[in-house]
Amino acid sequence: MKVLVVNCGSSSIKYQLIDMTNENLLAKGLVERIGIEGSVLTHQPANKDKVVIKADIDNHKTGIQMVLKALTDIDHGVLSSMKEISAIGHRVVHGGEKFADSVLITPEVMQALQDCVEMAPLHNPPNIIGINACEELMPGVPQVGVFDTAFHQTMPKHAFLYGLPYDAYTKYGVRRYGFHGTSHKYVSQRTAELMKQDINNLRIVTCHLGNGASLAAVKFGKSIDTSMGFTPLEGLVMGTRSGEVDPAVIPYLMKKLDLTADQIDTYLNKKSGVLGISGVSSDFRDIEAAATEGNELCQLALDVFAYRVRKFIGSYIAAMGGVDAIVFTAGVGENDIYMRGSICSGLEFLGTSIDPEKNNVRGKEQEISVDGAKVKIFVVPTNEELVIARDTNKIYASLV
């Protein structure tokens, strides 16, 4: 039973082919610059050399067609025929309130996804295009939608509601939804496994720190709060996103800078965050290198980022009435030794701190707290594709 996992962005397609009999990765790859000059497919079969295929890739359907060709290619392919793909799992960013779990894609589900487009105008349209392209190219193969928002649907109303007139929620769906749910779910479950404890007894703060960043309070296996909100802009300071600001700043800056609603949206999403503060880069490697050479704004950007994460960790511990583990994942969380140390400095009052030697690790599962710490700190590389493949496999198994 082989599952193709597809993650369509506006100009990209990430994919993985996973054999679910042993959860082995057979191949993975990335189509980039769809509809833009210089489009390219990078295909990495397991145990074989990487292939880079340059071609005009005008749309997602052509992109997926190329992926299928690469997967069945006589030299660098891993399948004898497309028919070996039993099901396709799609990452879908926004499922609104309709989806608290992964679902088989049906015409009704497609309609519900369309209904969510207004809330995720950048993310949901490429997801929908990807599903339609797969349906055209592989008719009859079951497709499953796995939502970034689903894991957070367990948040209680007092956590997801904003202090706005109630009809902003009932009429327009304005509430906190949360994102990165598949990642928060995976790393919290993995942390429980590493601790050899039942997740139903654990309170875990999961820190997904990548270019986009969010925290979740996972109490007894369920998300009870998370830092992203109605959109992935709320919460932490991110690579290029502001995270939370006083909402009154928005009309103030619109007037001062003479910006339209779309322009302020771009300002907050693309020009802010550690890029906006540092003026150097959104990439933590660049910012840390510049800070080491004495760039004060870069050091400030790192301090602002770390402080906001630490503050959220503290608030989630209060929300859960305690904590058993804190876990770091995604690009920064998995790789940034300095940033993990900076975030956790000052958490000694919890009965924990980072062991610098154990913290000297990148992209590997490891406990990094000092021996005997009351609250364990972990690095757990995320694996959203595996969660998508598992959910797809489960739904496929219920069909046959």
| Residues acting as catalytic residues | 148
Question: What is the closest distance, in whole angstroms, from the C-beta atom of residue 188 to ligand AMP in the complex?
Answer: 17
Question: What is the closest distance, in whole angstroms, from the C-beta atom of residue 179 to ligand AMP in the complex?
Answer: 12
H-assigned helices in the chain: 60-72, 107-115, 124-137, 157-160, 166-172, 181-194, 249-257, 261-270, 273-278, 284-292, 296-320, 330-335, 337-344, 384-399
Nearer to ligand AMP, 362 or 394 (CB): 362
Question: What is the closest distance, in whole angstroms, from the C-beta atom of residue 19 to ligand AMP in the complex?
Answer: 25
Question: What is the closest distance, in whole angstroms, from the C-beta atom of residue 252 to ligand AMP in the complex?
Answer: 29
Helices and strands (H, E) in the chain, number of each type: 14, 14
Question: In whole angstroms, what is the distance from residue 327 CA to residue 343 CA?
Answer: 12
> Of residues 278-297, which lie at the interface with ligand AMP (CB under 6 A)?
283-285
Among residues 311, 345, 329, 312, which one has the least CA distance to residue 355? 345
- Number of Cβ atoms within 10 Å of the Cβ of 395: 21
Instruction: Work out which of 63, 142, 178, 210 binds ligand AMP, going by CB under 6 A.
Output: 210
> Of residues 215-254, which lie at the interface with ligand AMP (CB under 6 A)?
239
Q: Does 77 bind ligand AMP (CB under 6 A)?
A: no
Residue count, binding to ligand AMP (CB under 6 A): 12
What backbone phi and psi angles, to 5 degrees, belong to 216?
A: -135, 145
Question: What is the closest distance, in whole angstroms, from the C-beta atom of residue 58 to ligand AMP in the complex?
Answer: 26
Nearer to ligand AMP, 148 or 160 (CB): 148
At residue 178, what is the residue type?
G
Nearer to ligand AMP, 65 or 269 (CB): 269
The answer to whether the beta carbons of residues 271 and 297 sit under 8 Å apart is no
Q: Does 12 bind ligand AMP (CB under 6 A)?
A: no
> Of residues 317-336, which lie at the interface with ligand AMP (CB under 6 A)?
330-332, 335-336
Question: In whole angstroms, what is the distance from residue 153 CA to residue 234 CA?
Answer: 17
Nearer to ligand AMP, 12 or 62 (CB): 12
> Which residues contribute to the site for ligand AMP (CB under 6 A)?
210-211, 239, 283-285, 330-332, 335-336, 362
